[in-house]
Structure formats: structure tokens, C-alpha cells
Amino acid sequence: SAAVELLGLMHYMEGMRLITVIEMVTVTSDENVTVTDTKFNNVPVRLYLPRRAPDGLRRAMIYFHGGGWCLGDAGMKSYDHMSQRVSNELNAVVVSVNYRLVPEHRFPVPFEDAYSVTKFFLQSSVLSQYGVDPTRVCVAGDSAGGNLAAAVAQQLLEDPEVKTELKAQILLYPALQALDLDLPSYRDNDNKPLLSKSLMVRFWSEYFTSDPSLREAMASNRHVPAESGHLFQFVNWSQLLPAGMRGGHVYSGPTFGSAALARRYPGFLDPRAAPLLASDARLHGLPHTYILTCEHDVLRDDGAMYVQRLRAAGVRVTHEHAQDAFHGALMFTLWPVELAVGHRLLNSFLGWLNENL
């Protein structure tokens, strides 16, 4: 029943927040990397600076953590470990962003925090302060953080004040659209570990409002009004997914919902929340892209459809599809089965970064 699910979900959220707290590590510098908590444009960031003498200017990565926009922290062990490795092994500056979280701060606040840190860091004076090569900066993120990285990369193209172009965007099992929540990946992975369909629906709806009417409409995939029907071309999985990822599923097209609901909570129709809704013309100038998708993940098809759309727009894309992985495999090495996969995927991502940043 809905009440049990809600209770289960509240426990899940509290449990996850607890894991976040338990997982937190204090700022620890070592012989290779200096770690400091500071603020960029009033947004808290954890900054990783390599200690060894640079061989010329350094590379840089701006990272946004996952957690459905309402959980997670740059200081969690898994994120801290990854940032330390990137900084040390790539001799790179890493800016790991603690954007404000839902429910205290809903869309567009997390996006605006992510964007303002990126814009601040990309100023030539800031890049030179940290010895960063302006031609070798990327944005990256996992899950909801992948959503923010993709949205930030798109927005930078529209911003005449930003002169520095990103070298790359790294999107690790990103959430990219809330228009169609009945994709084959949602059907196949309805109750898989870590991220069930009901939890992802909850994350999406909470990003915009606590009003249960949006969550209920999203859960039955009847939240998009007919007047926004043209947007479905951007998420039409029957066109955008390779045959092998469509499985035995049949595309039936949208069932439209209330125009009043969408007018009250227009965020899910906004490309800053749903980067897959950007027009082809807007995708055209995006940087070299790395997208990781996991087979056992409700978000699998979001990433795969973005791969298709970016390639069609002429963007260079590396698509890594992990057949044996669940959502969160890269960060949550909590289960023995995920450990090997997680390490493999992390090494693969680091290898790509090293060659392409």
C-alpha cells in the first residue's frame, strides 16, 4: 500500500542520510593531495590540490555528487576517495561541490549552485590562481550529479559571460528526464537494489514539490500536459534506443495529464532539470562526452538516449555500458558483488579522463 511504501521510503531517506553522515570523512590531506573545505561564490566546495610540482598547467574537474538532489555530500568516503585519486593520478585540481539539497531547497536551487560554482571557477583569474589550463577543464557527476553536470554544460553554451569552454563532460548513470517514467529501463528494473522506480519517482517529484499530486501523476506516467506533447520527440525511446536495449517492450506513446499541475510545477519541463529536453541545436556545441550506463538501473535509458541524441548532433561520445552493474556501482561498494564492478568502472573512468582531459 501507499502508506507502507511511504513509510519505507522515509526510512530509506533517513537511512541514507545516516549513511551519508557515517560515510563522512573529515578533511584529510596526505603527502599527495591538499584537501580544503572552502566556498566558491558562497557555495561550499571541497577542493583537492595536488602537492607535486606541476609539469606546466594542471587539468581540473568540477564534480557534483549523486543522491537524488536530496542526499549525499562531497565529504562521503566514496566521493572523497574518487576525488583524491583523480587529483593524485591525473595531477588535477578537483572541485567537489556541496550544492544545497532538497527538500529545504528545490529546483532550481541545486542547479543554480552547481552553475554558479562552475562559472566562478571558469574565470581566467581563478583558473590562473590554481594553475589550471583553461583548455583542460571538465564537469562530472553521478546520478543526480550527472543531471547537474549535463545541465551546467548546456547552460554554459548559452552564457555570453563565460569565455572558457569545457573540454569534457562525464555523466555517470545520469538522470536526464522526467517526461517518460515508463521507459524499458523503468519496467525492467522496477525493484532493483538502490534505486527502485518508486524511489526515482519520489526523487524527481521532490525536486519540484512536496505536493503528492505530482508524485502520484508521475507514478502513473500521466503528468505531462497535451500542450507539451511535442517534447516527447526528445525522449521517444522507440526511436532513440538501440534495438538491443528495447527488449520486448512496445512503445505506446504518452498519456497526457493535467495542464494545471504542469503550470504549478513547470520544472519537469525545463531543460535545466531535464537536459534531454534540450533541442538538437542546443546540443550541437557540447564538449566531448563520457556516459556510463548500468544494465540494472532505471536510469539506463536516459543515458542511452542522450548518447544517441548527442551523436546525432555531432558530439563525440564514449558510451560505456556495464552489463553486470546496478545503479550506483561506482560509488557504493557496499556489497561484495559490487566491489569488483565498482573498481573496474572507476578505473575505466579514470583511464578515459587521463587520455581525454
Residues 87-111: tens digit of each pLDDT: 999 999 999 999 999 989 999 999 9
Q: Dig out the grid coordinates for 269 from the structure.
A: 519541463
* 114/141 Cα distance (integer angstroms): 11
CA distance 144 to 85: 22
Residues annotated as catalytic (active site), given as ranges: 143, 297, 327
C-alpha cell at 250: 512496445
Distance from C-alpha of 341 to C-alpha of 334, rounded to nearest angstrom: 11
* pTM exceeds 0.85, yes or no: yes
Counts for the chain of helices (H) and strands (E), in that order: 14, 8
Residue range 197-209, pLDDT digits in tens: 999 999 999 999 9
Lowest mean pLDDT among 88-102, 106-120, 337-351: 337-351
Structural domains of the chain ordered from first start: 1-356 (3.40.50.1820)
Q: Put residue 316 in one of left, alpha, beta given phi > 0 → left and psi -120 to 50 → alpha.
A: beta
Tell me the pLDDT band of 334, cut-offs 50, 70 and 90. Answer: very low
- At 205, the amino acid letter reads S
User: At a CB cut-off of 8 Å and minimum separation 6, what does 233 contact?
Assistant: 239
